[in-house]
A = this chain, B = another copy of it.
Amino acid sequence: MVDGDPRLARLAVNQMTVRSWGVRDLVQGCLRAGVPAVGLWRDPVAEAGLAAAARWVRDAGLRVSSYCRGGFLTGADRAGALADNRRAIDEAAELGAACLVMVVGGLGADDRDLPGARARVSDALAELAPYAAERGVRLGLEPLHPMFCADRAVLSTLGQALDIADALPGTGVGVVVDAYHVWWDPQVDQQIRRAGDRIASFQTCDWTLPLPADVLLGRGMPGDGHVDLRALRRGVDAAGYTGDIEVEIFNADIWAADPDEVVATIVRRHVQHVL
Contacts and interface: CB of A to CB of B under 8 A. Distances in A.
Interface of A: 107, 111-114, 118, 145-147, 149-151, 156-157, 159-160, 163, 183-187, 207, 209-211, 213, 215, 225-228
Nearest to A163: B186
A114 B149 contact: no
A150 B209 contact: yes
A122 B88 CA distance: 46
Contacts of A151: 209-210
The 6 closest A-B pairs by CB, nearest first: A149-B184, A213-B213, A146-B184, A147-B147, A160-B186, A112-B228
B159 A118 contact: no
A134 to B, nearest CB: 30
A187 B146 CA distance: 13
A219 to B, nearest CB: 13
23 contacts: A107-B226, A111-B226, A112-B225, A112-B226, A113-B228, A114-B184, A114-B226, A118-B186, A145-B147, A146-B185, A147-B147, A149-B183, A149-B184, A150-B207, A150-B226, A151-B209, A151-B210, A156-B185, A156-B186, A157-B185, A157-B186, A159-B186, A213-B213
A209 to B, nearest CB: 6
Given A150-B209, A211-B215, 4 more contacts: A112-B227, A113-B228, A147-B211, A149-B184
Nearest to A143: B186
B113 A225 contact: no
Nearest to A118: B186
Contacts of A160: 186
A136 B90 CA distance: 64
B186 A147 contact: no
Most chain B CB within 10 A, of A149, A184, A213, is at A184
A269 to B, nearest CB: 13
A159 B186 CA distance: 9
Given A146-B147, A209-B151, A215-B147, A183 B114 contact: yes
Contacts of A185: 146, 156-157
A125 to B, nearest CB: 15
Most chain B CB within 10 A, of A118, A147, A183, A227, is at A147
A111 B209 CA distance: 12
A211 B210 CA distance: 14
A118 B183 CA distance: 13
B186 A225 contact: no
